[in-house]
């Protein structure tokens, strides 16, 4: 059903870390590349408003939030199959020490792969992973950053992104990035955590462990509404791609201990999101399955969209164990005084270490 090819032009420089697109860092070497992914999944035609301008973007959010007809999940007009070959922009980093364990990190909505790799000292998850001895693959999900931007209503959907993650995982395992990792850990943030949870639930044999950040199913999930996002139609992007105004970035992604420069940076690296991605994500939130690896859940204490501003006591270890009953170990932590975008707050590095220590205790 699926197949992934690297563009020939980038296949060979993969091992040549010193090539122009590669860069050497303190704890490892990184390379950006484009991967051509061919795959398919089920899909949907949703009954959702079109977004071609800012007024329609605000209507899209308010329509969903209106109490009397809250279309949650949004109505499906037709079941479809999504298939095709798309360009996915990725970055692969390998530590100087080797890096037998590869982390594959999937970012959330309104960002792209740069979420994991802030160019600010102490805020790059990628650099922290390298320092801790992990290889790490980050990528721009379909419809974000430098990846392809296909139809925002019918193609850019969560289930298809699970299949893209599967392709990236399989080619990584097979050595496409110049080394064959012994173990693979899947890391998600927010919408990327929904994709990651669905991935380990669907393909448990393809993952050795997971870190689920900034997402947990709970009674306050989405309670503050989409209007809190302050969306606009993304300028010069196709129909159906929305982006947040800076006030939406602050409300959604920041809280507690951050300074204006971090918010400025968070606003600078934002990326548009396709409306059907949000609609289809609503169908995946209940992912559960026989995954056998360890799972670390880490919630920002003050997460506005996920926990209506306070993630303490919204879930329990028991609830999480119920979702993945066969997981070898489950740990739940709250990163104090932090909003949704964990890496973009003070003390981010200490939070990263909690996950790495969990992985080490579980031989990853
Ligand atoms: C990847 O593709 C994008 C979009 O086509 C392009 O802008 C970028 O230069 C490519 N990057 C690499 C490393 O080939
Ligand atoms: C789509 O498929 C689901 C089950 O796979 C079914 O319950 C539903 O009625 C279908 N929807 C439409 C509009 O055909
Ligand atoms: C709520 O969460 C806090 C911090 O995680 C914890 O100390 C407290 O025991 C929890 N309270 C309840 C009732 O679970
Ligand atoms: C998962 O755990 C349940 C309950 O402990 C058990 O019945 C089931 O066989 C396990 N499944 C797998 C695939 O190990
Ligand atoms: C920083 O994060 C670590 C790990 O979660 C936590 O133990 C510590 O209390 C935090 N420090 C502050 C000042 O919030």
What pLDDT is recorded for position 17? 38
- Distance from first CA to last CA of the chain, Å, rounded? 30
* All domains in the chain, ordered by first residue: 3-361 (3.40.50.1820)
- State whether the beta carbon of 349 lies less than 6 angstroms from ligand 5: no
Residue 1 has pLDDT above 60, yes or no: no
Confidence of residue 69 (pLDDT cuts 50, 70, 90): confident
- Tell me the CA–centroid distance for residue 282 and ligand 5, in Å: 32
73 upstream amide cis, omega within 30 of 0? yes
Give the pTM.
0.94
Ligand 3 center from residue 316 Cα (angstroms): 10
Q: What is the pLDDT of residues 76-114, one digit of tens each?
A: 999 999 999 999 999 999 999 888 999 999 999 999 999
Write the residue with the smallest CA distance to atom 10 of ligand 3. Answer: 313
What is the residue whose two structure tokens read 């799972």?
295
Please report which ligand is nearest the Cα atom of 312: 3
Mutational test site, ligand 3, from 310, 312, 334, max ligand atoms within 8 Å of CB: 312
pLDDT in tens, 203-252: 999 999 999 999 999 999 999 999 999 999 999 999 999 999 999 999 99
Residue among 311, 313, 315, 318 to mutate when testing ligand 3 (max atoms within 8 A of CB): 313
Which two structure tokens, joined as six digits, stand for 307?
Answer: 């926990």
CA of 217 from ligand 3 middle (Å) equals: 18
CA of 270 to the centre of ligand 1 (A): 18
User: Which ligand has the shortest distance to the CA of 300?
Assistant: 5
Mean pLDDT of 173-200: 97
| CB neighbour list of residue 29: distance below 8 Å, 6 or more residues apart | 17, 22, 23, 93, 94, 96
Ligand 2: residue whose CA is nearest its atom 10: 79
């Amino acid at each position: 059903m699926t197949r992934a090819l690297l563009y020939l032009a980038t296949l060979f420089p993969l091992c040549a870390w010193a090539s122009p697109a590669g860069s050497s860092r303190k704890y490892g070497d990184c390379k950006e590349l484009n991967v051509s992914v061919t795959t398919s999944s089920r899909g949907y035609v949703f009954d959702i408003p079109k977004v071609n301008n800012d007024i329609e973007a605000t209507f899209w959010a308010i329509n969903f939030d209106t109490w009397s007809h809250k279309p949650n999940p949004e109505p499906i007009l037709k079941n479809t199959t999504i298939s095709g070959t798309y360009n996915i922009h990725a970055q692969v980093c390998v530590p100087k020490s080797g890096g037998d364990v590869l982390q594959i990190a999937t970012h959330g909505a309104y960002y792209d792969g740069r979420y994991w790799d802030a160019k600010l000292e102490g805020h790059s998850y990628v650099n922290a992973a390298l320092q801790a001895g992990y290889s790490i693959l980050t990528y721009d999900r379909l419809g974000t950053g430098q990846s392809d931007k296909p139809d925002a209503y019918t193609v850019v959907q969560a289930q298809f992104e699970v299949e893209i993650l599967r392709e990236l995982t399989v080619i990584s395992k097979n050595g496409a990035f110049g080394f064959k990792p012994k173990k693979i850990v899947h890391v998600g943030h927010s919408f990327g955590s929904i994709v990651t949870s669905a991935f380990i639930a669907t393909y448990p044999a393809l993952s050795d462990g997971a870190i689920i950040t900034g997402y947990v199913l709970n009674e306050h999930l989405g309670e503050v509404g989409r209007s809190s996002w302050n969306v606009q139609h993304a300028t010069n992007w196709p129909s159906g791609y929305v982006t947040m105004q800076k006030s939406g970035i602050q409300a959604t992604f920041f809280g507690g201990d951050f300074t204006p420069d971090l918010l400025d940076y968070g606003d600078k690296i934002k990326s548009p999101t396709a409306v059907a991605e949000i609609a289809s994500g609503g169908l995946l939130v209940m992912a559960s399955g026989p995954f056998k690896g360890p799972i670390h859940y880490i919630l920002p204490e003050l997460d506005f969209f996920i926990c209506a501003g306070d993630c303490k006591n919204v879930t329990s270890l028991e609830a999480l164990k119920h979702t993945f009953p066969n997981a070898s170990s489950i740990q739940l932590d709250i990163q104090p005084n932090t909003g949704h975008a964990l890496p973009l707050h003070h003390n981010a590095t200490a939070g990263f270490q909690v996950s790495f220590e969990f992985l080490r205790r579980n031989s990853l």
